[in-house]
Amino acid sequence: MSKPKRERDLEDTEAQAITRNIRVSPRKLNLVAALIRGRSAQDAVATLTFSKRRIAQTVKKTLESAIANAENNHRLDVDALVVSKAEVGRAVVMKRFHARGRGRSSRVEKWFSHLKIVVAEQQQAAAPEPQQEAA
Protein backbone atom coordinates (compact mmCIF):
# COMPACT_ATOMS: atom_id res chain seq x y z
CA MET A 1 0.00 0.00 0.00
CA SER A 2 1.13 3.51 -0.67
CA LYS A 3 0.04 6.91 0.47
CA PRO A 4 -2.91 8.48 -1.30
CA LYS A 5 -1.92 10.87 -4.03
CA ARG A 6 -1.69 14.48 -2.86
CA GLU A 7 -4.05 16.98 -4.44
CA ARG A 8 -2.47 19.63 -6.61
CA ASP A 9 -2.34 23.05 -4.91
CA LEU A 10 -2.09 25.07 -8.12
CA GLU A 11 -4.63 25.85 -10.81
CA ASP A 12 -4.60 24.00 -14.13
CA THR A 13 -3.06 27.06 -15.79
CA GLU A 14 -0.11 27.28 -13.35
CA ALA A 15 3.25 25.59 -12.93
CA GLN A 16 5.98 26.04 -10.34
CA ALA A 17 9.62 25.41 -9.54
CA ILE A 18 11.24 25.41 -6.09
CA THR A 19 14.89 25.84 -5.18
CA ARG A 20 15.84 25.14 -1.59
CA ASN A 21 18.84 26.08 0.56
CA ILE A 22 20.26 28.86 -1.57
CA ARG A 23 23.30 30.43 0.09
CA VAL A 24 22.04 34.01 0.24
CA SER A 25 20.04 35.92 2.83
CA PRO A 26 16.28 36.16 2.26
CA ARG A 27 16.43 39.98 2.19
CA LYS A 28 18.90 40.00 -0.70
CA LEU A 29 17.03 37.26 -2.57
CA ASN A 30 13.73 39.11 -2.19
CA LEU A 31 15.23 42.18 -3.90
CA VAL A 32 15.91 40.06 -7.01
CA ALA A 33 12.56 38.26 -6.79
CA ALA A 34 10.77 41.62 -6.68
CA LEU A 35 12.28 42.47 -10.08
CA ILE A 36 10.35 39.68 -11.82
CA ARG A 37 7.00 39.57 -9.99
CA GLY A 38 4.11 40.24 -12.37
CA ARG A 39 6.27 40.35 -15.51
CA SER A 40 5.95 38.13 -18.54
CA ALA A 41 8.23 35.11 -18.50
CA GLN A 42 10.44 36.27 -21.39
CA ASP A 43 10.78 39.75 -19.91
CA ALA A 44 11.72 38.28 -16.52
CA VAL A 45 14.41 36.05 -18.07
CA ALA A 46 15.87 39.06 -19.91
CA THR A 47 15.86 41.13 -16.71
CA LEU A 48 17.68 38.41 -14.76
CA THR A 49 20.20 37.84 -17.57
CA PHE A 50 21.47 41.40 -17.35
CA SER A 51 21.17 41.86 -13.57
CA LYS A 52 24.44 42.58 -11.76
CA ARG A 53 23.48 40.68 -8.63
CA ARG A 54 25.26 37.35 -8.05
CA ILE A 55 22.12 35.49 -7.06
CA ALA A 56 20.25 36.51 -10.23
CA GLN A 57 21.69 33.52 -12.11
CA THR A 58 20.21 31.08 -9.58
CA VAL A 59 16.83 32.83 -9.78
CA LYS A 60 17.04 32.65 -13.58
CA LYS A 61 17.65 28.89 -13.43
CA THR A 62 14.62 28.45 -11.19
CA LEU A 63 12.46 30.58 -13.49
CA GLU A 64 13.59 28.60 -16.55
CA SER A 65 12.74 25.39 -14.69
CA ALA A 66 9.23 26.69 -13.95
CA ILE A 67 8.80 27.61 -17.63
CA ALA A 68 9.98 24.13 -18.69
CA ASN A 69 7.57 22.52 -16.20
CA ALA A 70 4.72 24.56 -17.64
CA GLU A 71 5.58 23.56 -21.19
CA ASN A 72 6.42 19.88 -20.73
CA ASN A 73 4.33 18.76 -17.75
CA HIS A 74 1.22 20.94 -18.04
CA ARG A 75 1.08 21.75 -21.78
CA LEU A 76 0.85 25.52 -21.28
CA ASP A 77 1.64 28.15 -23.91
CA VAL A 78 5.12 29.52 -23.18
CA ASP A 79 4.43 32.85 -24.91
CA ALA A 80 1.48 33.57 -22.59
CA LEU A 81 3.27 32.83 -19.29
CA VAL A 82 3.47 35.44 -16.52
CA VAL A 83 5.36 35.22 -13.21
CA SER A 84 2.39 35.21 -10.84
CA LYS A 85 4.32 34.49 -7.62
CA ALA A 86 7.95 34.68 -6.54
CA GLU A 87 8.05 33.67 -2.88
CA VAL A 88 11.17 33.85 -0.74
CA GLY A 89 11.41 31.90 2.49
CA ARG A 90 13.91 31.56 5.29
CA ALA A 91 15.90 28.34 5.54
CA VAL A 92 18.66 27.31 7.98
CA VAL A 93 21.14 29.73 9.51
CA MET A 94 24.73 28.55 9.99
CA LYS A 95 26.31 30.05 13.07
CA ARG A 96 30.04 30.74 13.01
CA PHE A 97 32.44 32.69 15.19
CA HIS A 98 34.84 35.46 14.29
CA ALA A 99 37.87 36.18 16.47
CA ARG A 100 37.96 39.71 17.86
CA GLY A 101 40.43 41.68 19.91
CA ARG A 102 41.37 40.91 23.53
CA GLY A 103 40.45 37.23 23.29
CA ARG A 104 36.80 37.87 22.52
CA SER A 105 34.67 36.49 19.72
CA SER A 106 31.55 37.55 17.88
CA ARG A 107 28.89 35.60 16.11
CA VAL A 108 28.61 35.43 12.31
CA GLU A 109 25.33 34.18 10.87
CA LYS A 110 25.26 32.73 7.36
CA TRP A 111 21.69 32.78 6.07
CA PHE A 112 20.12 30.38 3.58
CA SER A 113 16.88 30.86 1.64
CA HIS A 114 14.17 29.00 -0.24
CA LEU A 115 12.72 30.26 -3.53
CA LYS A 116 9.39 29.31 -5.11
CA ILE A 117 8.40 30.67 -8.52
CA VAL A 118 4.90 30.13 -9.94
CA VAL A 119 4.17 30.95 -13.56
CA ALA A 120 0.61 31.20 -14.87
CA GLU A 121 -0.81 31.22 -18.35
CA GLN A 122 -2.51 34.54 -18.97
CA GLN A 123 -5.39 34.55 -21.40
CA GLN A 124 -4.91 36.97 -24.28
CA ALA A 125 -7.55 39.66 -24.06
CA ALA A 126 -9.49 39.92 -27.29
CA ALA A 127 -9.46 43.36 -28.88
CA PRO A 128 -12.89 45.00 -28.65
CA GLU A 129 -14.68 45.26 -31.94
CA PRO A 130 -15.46 48.77 -33.18
CA GLN A 131 -19.12 49.63 -32.75
CA GLN A 132 -21.08 50.93 -35.69
CA GLU A 133 -23.03 54.09 -35.23
CA ALA A 134 -26.74 53.97 -35.86
CA ALA A 135 -27.97 56.79 -38.07
The confidence band for 134, taking pLDDT boundaries of 50, 70 and 90, is low
Task: Say what the pLDDT of residue 126 is.
Answer: 53
**88 and 53 Cβ atoms separated by less than 8 Å:** no
Task: Say what the pLDDT of residue 135 is.
Answer: 57
State how far the alpha carbon of 56 is from the alpha carbons of 31, 47, 115, in Å. 10, 9, 12
The confidence band for 1, taking pLDDT boundaries of 50, 70 and 90, is confident
**pLDDT tens per residue across span 18-75:** 999 999 999 999 999 999 999 999 999 999 999 999 999 999 999 999 999 999 999 9
CATH architecture, domain defined by 14-121? Alpha-Beta Complex (3.90)
Q: How far is CA 100 from the centre of its chain?
A: 39
**pLDDT tens per residue across span 62-120:** 999 999 999 999 999 999 999 999 999 999 999 999 999 999 999 999 999 999 999 99
Task: Say what the pLDDT of residue 67 is.
Answer: 98
Distance CA 76, CA 65 (A): 14
Task: Say what the pLDDT of residue 127 is.
Answer: 54
Q: What is the DSSP letter of 89?
A: E
Predicted TM-score of the model (pTM): 0.86
**21 and 91 Cβ atoms separated by less than 8 Å:** yes
